[in-house]
Chain A
Amino acid sequence: SQQGEEDPQALSIQEGENATMNCSYKTSINNLQWYRQNSGRGLVHLILIRSNEREKHSGRLRVTLDTSKKSSSLLITASRAADTASYFCATSRGMEYGNKLVFGAGTILRVKS
């Protein structure tokens, strides 16, 4: 069964606005990762946050992790039309579980220009 659940399922915003996507999961984790998937393409790794980290930044991306609530959020600031894609969170429980990544169902983001 899939571990992560993204919210919202779909999001439509204007270029320049910020986009926030949320992910909830069920078990303890070693790390949580976010991926982007453009239509008809493979997944691209965006950012990884470890279970002992609370916030991480990469360019226009900001990820937070709250292990007490078993949730994470991905914020894309100053969105661009090129950010239009599906975004997935994926959790890993660590070496004991083969570092297997379990993906959520994703959030479809549409940025209108």
Chain B
Amino acid sequence: EAGVAQSPRYKIIEKRQSVAFWCNPISGHATLYWYQQILGQGPKLLIQFQNNGVVDDSQLPKDRFSAERLKGVDSTLKIQPAKLEDSAVYLCASRRGLGGTISGNTIYFGEGSWLTVV
């Protein structure tokens, strides 16, 4: 079974520029997450999709961040304009169902997209 795919792996941009990250979840996984992980910290949830609908985007800075999952499969996370504090790893993850403790609902993470804003 192929894992969660993310691209690009690394990106360096200047502040005020824009950047987009792409994620392809594991086939058949309905739930997709974007997490932001700043160096030395644990991942912080930015947005959660259930199919193509948003379940939780309470911690997404909507003035500069946007995300979509139009066909309920791939997802794109965009930052525009970027700030220095956006430097982080952006992790995409997916889960087959809604979660909870049902067997088979493990969350699988991609390798992450490393963003440096200079």
Chain A contact residues, CB within 8 Å of chain B: 2, 4, 30-31, 40-45, 48, 50, 88, 90, 92, 94-95, 98-106
30 contacts between A and B (CB under 8 A): A2-B41, A2-B42, A2-B44, A4-B42, A31-B100, A31-B101, A40-B111, A41-B111, A42-B91, A42-B93, A42-B110, A42-B111, A44-B109, A45-B106, A45-B107, A48-B101, A48-B106, A88-B43, A90-B42, A95-B98, A95-B100, A98-B48, A98-B55, A99-B100, A100-B48, A101-B45, A101-B107, A102-B45, A103-B35, A106-B41
Interface size class of B (residues with CB under 8 A): 20 to 34
Interface positions, chain B 33-51, Cβ under 8 Å from A, are 35, 40-45, 48
Pair A43/B101 contact, Cβ less than 8 Å: no
> Is B56 interfacial (CB 8 A cutoff)?
yes
Pair A106/B42 contact, Cβ less than 8 Å: yes
Pair A30/B42 contact, Cβ less than 8 Å: no
Determine how close the nearest CB of chain A comes to the CB of B7; give it in whole angstroms: 13
Given known pairs A2-B42, A101-B107, the reply for A43 and B48 (CB within 8 Å) is: no
Q: Which residue of the partner chain B has the closest CB to A5?
A: B42
Determine how close the nearest CB of chain A comes to the CB of B81; give it in whole angstroms: 26
The one of A41, A48, A104 in contact with B42, judged by C-beta atoms closer than 8 angstroms, is A104
Residue with the highest number of chain B CB atoms closer than 10 Å, among A31, A95, A101, A102: A101
Report chain B residues within 8 Å CB of A44: 109
Distance between Cα atoms of A66 and B4 in the complex (Å) = 33
Pair B98/A105 contact, Cβ less than 8 Å: no
Pair A103/B43 contact, Cβ less than 8 Å: yes
Distance between Cα atoms of A101 and B108 in the complex (Å) = 13
The one of B4, B56, B108 in contact with A100, judged by C-beta atoms closer than 8 angstroms, is B56
Determine how close the nearest CB of chain B comes to the CB of A99; give it in whole angstroms: 3
